[in-house]
């Protein structure tokens, strides 16, 4: 028997109206082979076909594993790239922060020096507080980013003592002191 003499009518689906067209086409072909070859010859043909199908299946499984490995490598590379970009952004922000702090420390130091020089002729205690240890501790805190508790306490004590200095009372008008 050969397939050439048969009509191309669709054979009834053994699965009963399967929704998968590929599966129904495959079952239709298998039914046509069964009619054309007979049960014994079909069994021999399927046994001969089985090693080829196993090899194809193993090949497909290896392809899928390779695709999964490639996808995993690609995802790992993307993650590494994202982490590197995040580290670069953090480094850039940290650098910008440090430069801003340095600029503000320089500006504040120059302002304290200018204020101390301006106050020198009239209030030497305030000038000493502005240009003395408080300026040095401020620079140490902002520029070197180090400070100890004793330095902070000393700066606070000097600032407090500079504010508590007794000024000579100005002469009252009409008191007769000339």
Instruction: Retrieve residue 66's tokens.
Output: 């390779």
Asked if 142 and 101 touch (Cβ cutoff 8 Å), the reply is: yes
How confident is the model at residue 7, as a pLDDT?
46
How confident is the model at residue 93, as a pLDDT?
97
How confident is the model at residue 174, as a pLDDT?
58
Buried b / exposed e over 120-134, threshold 16 CB at 10 Å, is eeebebbbbbbbbbb
How confident is the model at residue 114, as a pLDDT?
92
How confident is the model at residue 171, as a pLDDT?
54
Q: 132-155 pLDDT, tens per residue? A: 877 877 777 777 777 677 766 776
The three-state DSSP-derived secondary structure of the chain is CCCCCCCCCCCCCCCCCCCCHHHHHHHHHHHHHHHHHCHHHHHHHHHHHHHHHHHHHHHHHHHHHHHHHHHHHHHHHHHHHHHHHHHHHHHHHHHHHHHHHHHHHHHHHHHHHHHHHHHCCCCHHHHHHHHCHHHHHHHHHHHHCCCCHHHHHHHHHHHHHHHCCCCCCCCCCCCCCC
Q: Which of 118, 154, 126, 115 is nearest to 138 (CA)?
A: 154
Residues 6+ apart with CB under 8 A from 15: 23, 24, 27
How confident is the model at residue 72, as a pLDDT?
96
Q: Mind listing the pLDDT tens digit of every residue in the chain (178 residues)?
A: 444 444 444 444 444 455 678 778 877 887 887 788 777 887 887 788 788 888 888 999 999 999 999 999 999 999 999 999 999 999 999 999 989 988 988 898 899 899 989 988 888 888 888 888 778 777 777 777 776 777 667 767 766 776 565 555 555 555 555 4
How confident is the model at residue 34, as a pLDDT?
77
């Amino acid at each position: 028997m050969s397939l050439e003499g048969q009509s191309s009518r669709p054979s009834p689906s053994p699965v009963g109206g399967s929704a998968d067209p590929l599966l129904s086409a495959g079952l239709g072909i298998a039914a046509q082979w069964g009619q054309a070859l007979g049960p014994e010859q079909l069994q021999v043909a399927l046994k001969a076909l089985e090693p080829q199908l196993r090899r194809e299946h193993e090949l497909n499984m290896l392809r899928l594993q390779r695709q999964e490995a490639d996808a995993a490598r690609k995802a790992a590379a993307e993650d590494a790239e994202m982490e590197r970009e995040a580290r670069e952004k953090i480094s850039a922000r940290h650098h910008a922060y440090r430069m801003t702090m340095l600029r503000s420390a320089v500006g504040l130091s120059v302002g304290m020096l200018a204020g101390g020089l301006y106050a020198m002729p009239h209030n030497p205690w305030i000038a000493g507080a502005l240009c003395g240890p408080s300026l040095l501790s401020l620079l140490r805190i902002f520029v070197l980013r180090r400070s100890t508790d004793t330095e902070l306490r000393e700066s606070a004590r000097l600032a407090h003592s500079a504010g508590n200095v007794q000024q000579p009372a100005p002469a009252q008008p009409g008191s007769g002191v000339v």
